[in-house]
Amino acid sequence: MAESAGVYCPMPSEQDNVEQAKGNPALDLSTFIPPAPLMSPSIIIEFCDRCRWLHRATWVSTELFLTFPPPVLKAISIIPLNSEETGGRFRVWLNLEGSPPQLMWDRKIEGGFPELKGLKQRIRDYVQPGKSLGHSDKKSE
């Protein structure tokens, strides 16, 4: 049982969940269809979890979805990495139909995190060439 701000929310037992699912076709696992792997076009953001870059990864994904809402981008995957080999990694990949994922940004190669303006322009050039990004397309003086 969970209680938050005076609201009572009973926590069902695992057996209760099984019994409830038996009578509910919406909870019949045999009818579940998993998402297609790497829907196209889609983005994959890999980040070093040991560096605590989850917030940055979710911020980048939010900004990309706001600029390229579905169906332009069909999915954004955020993948935390936690090994010695992936220490310090922050990569953004673009997956397009019929081709392997293309690297749009690598923190180590580029020398830092992406400025969203530049990242959006790179992605735009593949998924919506010619689309105006408004103030993000204006040249800096």
Q: Is 91 helix (H, G, I), strand (E, B) or coil?
A: strand
Per-residue model confidence as pLDDT tens for the chain (141 residues): 445 556 665 565 655 555 555 666 666 667 766 666 668 999 999 999 999 999 999 999 999 999 999 999 999 999 999 999 899 999 999 999 988 899 999 999 999 999 999 999 999 999 999 999 987 776 654
Six token digits for residue 130: 């010619």
d(CA 21, CA 7): 25
- Residue 61's closest CA among 135, 15, 136, 114? 114
Distance of CA 105 to the CA centre of its chain: 15
